[in-house]
Chain A
Amino acid sequence: DVKVTQSSRYLVKRTGEKVFLECVQDMDHENMFWYRQDPGLGLRLIYFSYDVKMKEKGDIPEGYSVSREKKERFSLILESASTNQTSMYLCASSLLSDRGNSPLHFGNGTRLTVT
């Protein structure tokens, strides 16, 4: 079974802090993704990566950055946390597929509260 591990289940941070959310997958997947999920807004893509050191902006990249130094690890960085970044953050991974038929596998999520 694919395992996607997010380092923290719950995090509480103060406004202005730099926040690191870590994600590790153990199935040698090429693709990794960061989403946030808010009530009424569904899943929104922040950043994704198709390869080491490669990153692409998703739909809502503002206020975030990412790092992918190793294939198995994809980090989300909140440069200066704000209260509107309070959310559930979900990491996912998938195989690279020319046919686009590879599903996403999600980690357990990190519920971040910024006070």
Chain B
Amino acid sequence: QKEVEQNSGPLSVPEGAIASLNCTYSDRVSQSFFWYRQYSGKSPELIMSIYSNGDKEDGRFTAQLNKASQYVSLLIRDSQPSDSATYLCAVRGGNYQLIWGAGTKLIIKP
């Protein structure tokens, strides 16, 4: 059973600090990795995608991928109250199926 694991949280971070969200996956041949943000009662929206080892930055967001250790993380710099949401990690495995983590609830405290 291919799995994607995330700490369910809630993760509480002060406003202005760096929020660090982590995700581990079990399928060694996974190729594509995605971070989605989901506000309560809304649908998931894509924040970042990453395909190669290393860091990928987009504004205040940085995705980090380490295939050898089978983890992917999302850093949010200068956290804002509007970043409070559930963050979903999704991993596309060798069979092209997308496996979803259960999500980490992030709370940014003013």
Task: Give A contacts to B, CB under 8 Å.
Answer: 40-43, 45, 90, 99-101, 103-109
Question: Is the CB–CB distance between A100 and B31 below 8 Å?
Answer: yes
Question: Which residues of the other chain, B, contact A109 by a CB distance below 8 angstroms?
Answer: 42-43
Partner among B31, B42, B102 whose Cβ is within 8 Å of the Cβ of A101: B31
Contacting residue for A42 out of B32, B45, B100, CB 8 A: B100
B44 to chain A: which residues have CB within 8 Å? Answer: 43, 90, 106
Identify the closest chain B residue to A56 (Cβ).
B97
Query: How many B residues touch A, CB cutoff 8 Å?
Result: 19
A115: min CB distance to chain B, Å: 20
Q: Which residues of B pack against A, CB within 8 Å?
A: 31-32, 34, 42-46, 49, 51, 88, 90, 92, 96, 98, 100-103
A102 CB, nearest partner CB in chain B, Å: 8
Which of B46, B51, B88 contacts A43 (CB under 8 A)? Answer: B88
Chain A residue numbers with a CB within 8 Å of B88 are 42-43
Bound complex: CA A111 to CA B61 (Å): 30
Top 9 A-B pairs, shortest CB-CB distance: A106-B43, A42-B102, A43-B100, A109-B43, A101-B32, A100-B96, A100-B92, A103-B46, A100-B31
